[in-house]
Amino acid sequence: MKELFLIKLGEMVLKGQNRAAFDALLLKTIRRRLYPLGEFDVRYAQSTVYVIPKDESCDMDKAQEKLEKIFGIVAFTRAAAAEKELSSICDTATEYLATALSAAKSFKVESKRADKSFPLTSLELSREVGAAILRKFHHLKVDVHHPDLTVRAEVRDFGAYLHTDALPGAGGMPSGTGGKAAVLISGGIDSPVAAWMMARRGVELVPIHFASPPYTSERAEQKVVELLEKVAAYCGPMKMRTVSITHIQEEILQKCPEELFTVIMRRFMVRLSNKIAQDEDCGALITGESLGQVASQTMQAIRCTDAVAELPVFRPLIGTDKAEIVALAHRIGTYEISIEPYEDCCTVFTPRHPRTKPPVFVAEKAEQALEIDALVAEALETVKITPIRIK
């Protein structure tokens, strides 16, 4: 019995003349992700991607785990192939789905006949497959409205396929189709989720992490690496840039009003990110801000930081509340890592009473005490690159 995956695509099918480029990139991604698991034939036909193992050494369970995390796949099924003959279809259904049929109390059969040369209609095929199942599994009853199990039979150009309901995919667009952007990444809950959300739209990520040694530890930086590895499982490998901003923070602390510390620090983060992003040919910056969540995320504070941005700033979480962000963090596997108690540069010098609605001119006036260009240049000299791989 030949087992394979049938993959359904999402909004990619709505693309026009450049649709082929999206398809080609998705197929390339699937082949690359499955390469360590064996040799698979990956091809596109009849609005479906076929992933067919070439021999029994292919790890189908691991392949399923990989497919669940590939952007561009909206749903997929693990199916058994049969000859386009009624006896083969019925035998394959009762054999391949035996475990699921044994556990169910009721079922129904839904058929799709894409190959119109097949002699039976969809309704006739469903009836014949259902009868074969009832002959072998006497405990089952047919329930066309609320069955425990739905058996699906598809007759296509290449063969007939038997499976149950589809599994959900990651959705979104294939990685790399949405341009390139730099994401400001911390060890908290929000920024990894923001990175994942933009990667889901096909954006290639350039992560930028700010550290404050010796106030922040190597373990805190490793925590960020682990968070990005969870994101990379969906979007692919990337390279994290770590920037030391210790001197910048110390200068702000000494020369600027304490209440403005956070907003001035974030303005420096944006300045530094501008430089790195432009060097990496990025078209935007990404942050994990949610409106009103903390003092630096009021509308006025956001305007203050955006005043020094030279690229568009995307904030995919801006209208979400914390419960929604936490739910997404659980979904992508970052939450448990994010809550590990390691400090980051945003919490080391937190002011006691931050100003929540600073006008831009107030921040600009306070920054006059600092040698901004020299501090930015000095920090850029500390940039360290860390490869983020798929585990």
Q: What is the DSSP string of 203-224?
A: PEEEEEEEE-TTTS-HHHHHHH
Q: How far apart are CA 222 and CA 224, in angstroms?
A: 5
pLDDT on residue 343: 67
Does residue 39 lie in a domain region? yes
Clarify whether residues 111 and 207 are in a common domain: no
Residue 51 backbone dihedrals phi, psi, to 5 degrees: -120, 105
Mean pLDDT of the chain, nearest integer: 94
How do the residues of the chain divide into helix, strand and coil, expressed in percent and rounded to 5?
45, 20, 35
Domain hosting 39: range is 2-168
Clarify whether residues 196 and 162 are in a common domain: no
Does residue 270 lie in a domain region? yes
Q: How far apart are CA 92 and CA 86, in angstroms?
A: 10
* 256-284 confidence digits (pLDDT tens): 999 999 999 999 999 999 999 999 999 99
**Of 109, 142, 168, which marks where a domain is finished?**
168
Q: Are 10 and 23 in contact (CB under 8 A)?
A: no
Does residue 67 lie in a domain region? yes
pLDDT on residue 256: 95
**Of 110, 134, 168, which marks where a domain is finished?**
168
Lowest mean pLDDT among 38-42, 326-330, 352-356: 352-356
Does residue 174 lie in a domain region? no
Clarify whether residues 164 and 213 are in a common domain: no
Does residue 75 lie in a domain region? yes
Q: pTM of the prediction? A: 0.91
**Of 135, 168, 201, which marks where a domain is finished?**
168
CATH number at 327 reads: 3.40.50.620
Does residue 349 lie in a domain region? yes
pLDDT on residue 319: 96
Q: Where residue 345 falls among pLDDT bands split at 50, 70, 90?
A: low
Clarify whether residues 110 and 220 are in a common domain: no
